[in-house]
Structure 1
């Protein structure tokens, strides 16, 4: 299981933690708004509804946070792979997309308290579901297949780790197909460019 949290501030080092938080919150309050980078392509957490409005569970949390600060909430749509670079560079004050908490990411950014737990799984076309039925998911069961994942995601890193294991065992690697959104992973699967989607 992985924990998901919102990011509220970019940090240069552990030693700057308190100062970075104080400066960021003071800046947000004085400007009267909080700018949030978001990739609204991951329902039900964050997505664009039929009216073109960004909504979802993570969005509700960010709105509550903005309300508590007494500031206006503004979203800046960003590709998932640009979320952390944008936060670290100061393009926005906070990150509003569901993001897995990892030790590597925690070296660069400050996470809030995690608010969700997820597990990664394999999504296949119905016609191929019998191939996986009753099997335990393992790197070996994916050997030689093509898997679609979001760029810069934890599932992408996990597939890379699977490939390291398969290489050591002398087995065919997984062909990793990188895309920008969950919708694109599913589209890649349904057009048969990929054999499976790996995501949480």
Structure 2
């Protein structure tokens, strides 16, 4: 085989290897009532298989029950015992709007109301009527999606960053947000069922 053909074969093998996921898919949480109703109406999109929800091997010094966000790779890990984690694909902040640091879950809401933040209103004035109306009620078209975890800094201040669902699931795996961490709605429901107020969050 010529060197050029060998290179092409090796390149193809590397590309295929990059698509493989070393882990086990976890089942979707069972939903009913409002969750089932809203999820049926929520926007749908296919995402690359590597951004679906898996249980994976993951070594970290963070304690079991913590959340670790790898902003560069667009993954969120919920730490399990025994060197394992549930890995979720997420959308993270744009380069100029990303953030890193430590926080904790200070509040939790199901199908939360969305209020456009001040910096967003400055960039997109057309959202002002939504703010004037007291925000957008929770539902399948709400930008916060099915669940929201409100992140507070260690000193108790609201960081203004959230881990939440999304009405734009096609953007999972990208850097598109204003700093918040977006998840598929079904993944946000799954993570929400695992965490509690006080859960530690590390964003890298």
Q: Report the TM-score range of the alignment, normalised by the length of the smaller protein.
A: under 0.3
Query: TM-score, normalization: structure 1?
Result: 0.23
Higher helix proportion (structure 1 or 2): 1
Query: TM-score, normalization: structure 2?
Result: 0.23
